[in-house]
A and B are shown apart, each in its own frame.
Chain A
Amino acid sequence: MTDATVTPAIRAERLRAGLKRRYAREGRFRLYGLLAIGVAVGFLLLLLGRIIEQGHTAFYTHTVTVPVYMDPARVDRAYPQGTNFELLVAEQQLARLGVVDDAQSSKATEMRGLFSSELKFASAARIQNNPNLIGQTVPIAAPVSDDADLYFKGEVSRATPADQRRLSDEQIAWLDRMKASGLVTAHFNSGLFTRGDSTEPELAGVLGAVVGSALMLLVTAFVAIPLGVGAALYLEEFAPRGRITDLIEVNINNLAAVPSIIYGLLGLALFINWMHLPRASPLVGGLVLALMALPTIIIATRSSLKAVPPSIREAALAMGASKTQTVFHHTLPLAMPGVMTGAIISMAHALGETAPLLLIGMVSFIPGIPHSFGEPTGALPSLIYIWENASERAFHERTAAAILVLLAFMIVMNAAAIFLRRRFERRW
């Protein structure tokens, strides 16, 4: 017996040491848990912080207002759109800065690169509205080019070697002089919210994508919510226990876990190649998202129907209501807050879904703002994908800004869902 040699004092000592070890282990284990949560929370903060940091500069922009002498020899009175206003302005601007151009007008080309093409459209529109302006000097306002805008925002630095930046030393000097003479003003970038997509970053906005996403969600809501609520009502209130019901239930659970890109393939094969619905339209996008959102809505509706106590149903039935009347007059209205909450959350989820939209054609460049369900359109998430792929650096800040817009919409929708839940949900 070894116990004989172990005195109570030694045993207590061993116990204490063991206990210390065990408590240390306990503390470490607890720390791992905290660390895990720290990783998740820290990453969220990093993600949001980084996007705000990258995106906040897109919310203001610079406009240059140049006095343009509408030279009668250069401006075509009958067809002002045909006039090369950009060259005209660039030459006048060079003259004002006292720069002598060479024979190839290379300086004028460099100067032109500082203005966006909006300058041309704005000038042509002024002449078209009032041809009498020809021969006068008219102030024309237009955004500066994306590179110039980045310079004013401090993202292009003089310290970078000249061959690694897109602006030459001379162009930077001109920009400084224009800014010093008060021609350049910084202001809120309203164009970001009032324009459609464009190949030129300074003229690109999210409105087309926002409208496209809204139209799409409208289709999704109109298709998915009635279908989903109907299916949930059937399964929860009417369905006889049996093989078909089981099959439907297993099916819904599996559909909820099918990767979203598979729904994109379904949409491509069914809606576009088989039914010949218009490619990249809000109609097709909305239908695909509706099929995706359906299982989520069914599951949410079923759980809020389950929460309605049976006593309500029994009372209605006892008063002589039929099964259908019980469900539509009592159970469903009482479950409605939960149903709407689930529906809004699944709509918010659908709003951020990207992969299926790419497959049904929403990767192409679509400049306009959609007016109907049948024309090609962009959507916010696919716009983010397109801009992220663009080579111009000025698109990076705009991508982050578009993400902020998308997140803002999602926060509003989720807040509405939380409000509905807090305000109307009843607990029995």
Chain B
Amino acid sequence: MTWLFLPILIAAALAAYVGGRGVARRRGDGQRSHSRPGQHGAYALIWTALPALLILLAASVFSAPIERQLTSSGAPEAVQQLEPFRRAAFFADARAVGAGRPAVQIWPAPYAELLPAEGQRAAHIALMLEIGAGTAAILAGLLGALFVFNQIRPGMRARNRVEGWIVGLLFVCSAVAILTTVGIIASLVYDSMRFFASVPIAEFLFGTQWSPQTAIRADQVGSTGAFGALPLFAGTFLIMLIAMTVAAPVGLFAAIYLSEYAGPVFRATVKPVLEILAGVPTVVYGFFAALTVGPTFRVFFNEIGALLVGGPLDGLGQYLMLVQNQMALVAGMVMGIMLIPFVSSLSDDIINAVPQSLRDGSYAMGATKSETVKRVLLPAALPGVAGAMLLAMSRAIGETMIVTMAAGLAARLTLNPLDTVTTVTVQIVTLLTGDQEFNSPKTLSAFGLGLTLFLVTLALNIIAQRIVQTYRQQYD
């Protein structure tokens, strides 16, 4: 809502620019001015718009939590005693009733009477906050304009000041990257801490039972839930392993062929194809895995099973007959295919970075191309290739859609590729989609999983980048 002030702000900023330019022209008449009128105008624009913009930005970030705090702290005793989640629902309904709409939930005796009055109070607080933010923004703009218009004179170094502000603004842009990281860490750690308050870290990391279904409300009958994430880590690891078994050799060989054997025409046709493969959204891979690869594999294994039943391998046959569409093998293989272009383009860069002199030396000794690749290029490129593989592993661990659509939900501690397994990312999606109460351990456990995932992928990325960097420097 605060952003309704934005058009006013833009108009004011434009007015400040035109005004500043005009004033500078008038005051600088006949004298030699340090900066051009337009630069004075830009300076006026910055001082008019920036303070107001900052206030609007702060208001849009902080007004929701402040509003929540104010409405609940002034509420009657009964409302304050509600759980945070229920309280939010109460105020949502209160505001609906205050605005003349029906309430979403049916509220019992003490709350039902409170609804209209509380709704009006909440709406009043929201309005006050908005008016407050708007007034503050307008005041800030006026003060800024007053400050800057007094300063305009021929000797003022408007250009340098404007440029200083521009550089500052660019710095803020790049600081957003840091803010994003801080935001990720803060949100993951904050909610994980709340989760670990009810489930000990050791139980989470080493427990072998994962069944996050808890009772939604305290009075409901239901299980208490178990939060041992080991089966999820095992499933993630298994699928990553299968994916890397596909992606590592295929990607590496493709890169070797492209950089050492392929002619320019072949390269120019195959590279775009690999780029297309890399650009296909993962949800498309997931669709393909779930509806084509999965059923094909199931039929294949079931038929083999049918052949084996009754023979010496009867047990295996029985097992194969029961294989389902969703298995680790399907998700892992399709993910491996998805990673091929990633591995091959990274390895391609790395192999190309090996100096030509090493190749030439090997050829001069009479080695064939494949001997050169195996005995000279790969050993020389080994650290870089290892780094590339680590990056691919980190991608495989964090990949979500393929496993969500093709791996399944059964949390099982197994290394059998034909079993249905589940992964960390699948569980995050499952826990956070569907009906949920935000503060239950079930929902919060998703943030615990997210934090684990973030830390593991971060570690892999940092190690990989280190390796690749040292490797690059070696030949620079």
Contact = CB atoms under 8 A, between A and B. Distances in A.
Interface of A: 22-23, 25-26, 29-30, 32-37, 39-41, 43-44, 47, 50-51, 54, 226-235, 238-239, 247-248, 251-255, 257-266, 268-270, 273-276, 291, 294-295, 298, 322-324, 348-349, 351-355, 358-359, 361, 363, 381, 384-385, 388, 396, 399-400, 403, 406-407, 410, 414
A5 to B, nearest CB: 25
Given A40-B274, A260-B400, A322-B163, A33 B291 contact: no
B368 A22 contact: yes
Interface of B is mostly: helix
13 contacts: A33-B253, A36-B249, A37-B253, A231-B170, A231-B176, A233-B170, A259-B400, A261-B429, A262-B188, A324-B163, A354-B283, A359-B432, A388-B291
A54 B291 contact: yes
Nearest to B163: A324
A128 B405 CA distance: 45
Contact of A403 (B166, B274, B284, B453): B284
B337 A40 contact: yes
B257 interface: yes
Interface in B306-347: 337, 340-341, 344
Nearest to B256: A33
A23 B273 CA distance: 30
A252 B287 contact: no
Contacts of B184: 258, 262-263, 265-266
Interface stretch (B19-27, B58-66, B198-206): B58-66
A261 B277 contact: no
B176 A294 contact: yes
Given A254-B181, A266-B184, A30 B261 contact: yes
B190 A262 contact: no
A354 B282 contact: yes
Contacts of B68: 276
Contact of B281 (A35, A275, A291, A381): A381
A355 B457 contact: no
Interface centre among B173, B175, B285, B454 (most CB of A within 10 A): B173
A396 B291 CA distance: 9
Given A231-B174, A260-B398, A388-B287, A294 B180 contact: yes
A227 B169 CA distance: 10
Contacts of B277: 40, 43-44
Nearest to A22: B368
Contact of B425 (A47, A275, A355): A355
Interface stretch (B227-235, B413-421, B458-466): B458-466
B180 A355 contact: no
Contacts of B129: none
Interface centre among B174, B256, B434 (most CB of A within 10 A): B174
B177 interface: yes
B464 to A, nearest CB: 8
B447 A269 contact: yes
A229 B174 CA distance: 9
B291 A291 contact: no
Contact of A257 (B280, B287, B341, B461): B461
Interface stretch (B46-54, B140-148, B369-377): B369-377
Contacts of B400: 259-261, 354-355
Contacts of A361: 433
A294 B181 CA distance: 12
B297 interface: no
Contact of B273 (A41, A50, A227): A41
B368 A23 contact: yes
B61 A40 contact: no
Given A36-B253, A248-B175, A385-B401, A270 B450 contact: no
B178 interface: yes
A348 to B, nearest CB: 7
Interface in B146-171: 159-160, 163, 166-167, 169-171
Nearest to B251: A36
Interface in B263-306: 270, 273-274, 276-277, 279-288, 290-292
Given A39-B340, A355-B429, A298 B453 contact: no
A265 B253 contact: no
Interface string B184-197: 10011011000000
Contact of B279 (A39, A247, A261, A414): A414
Nearest to B64: A276
Contacts of A33: 253-254, 256-258, 261
A295 B428 contact: no
A407 B285 CA distance: 12
A24 B18 CA distance: 79
Nearest to A257: B461
B250 interface: yes
B422 interface: no
A114 B261 CA distance: 60
A161 to B, nearest CB: 19
Q: Which 3 A-B residue pairings sit nearest by Cβ, starting from the closest?
A: A259-B398, A33-B257, A352-B281
B452 to A, nearest CB: 11
B265 to A, nearest CB: 14
A234 B453 contact: no
Contact of B429 (A44, A263, A359): A359
Contacts of A29: 369-370, 373-374
A44 B273 contact: yes
Nearest to A234: B170
B90 to A, nearest CB: 15
A35 B395 CA distance: 24
Interface centre among A37, A239, A381 (most CB of B within 10 A): A37
A359 B428 CA distance: 8
A30 B282 contact: no
Contact of B173 (A32, A231, A348): A231
Nearest to B169: A230
Contacts of A229: 173
B391 interface: yes
B232 to A, nearest CB: 14
Contacts of B72: none
B54 to A, nearest CB: 16
Given A248-B177, A384-B283, A385-B401, A257 B457 contact: yes
B183 interface: yes
Contact of B337 (A43, A265, A275): A43
B160 to A, nearest CB: 8
B55 to A, nearest CB: 16
Contacts of A30: 257, 261, 369-370
Interface in B348-375: 368-371, 373-374
B438 interface: yes
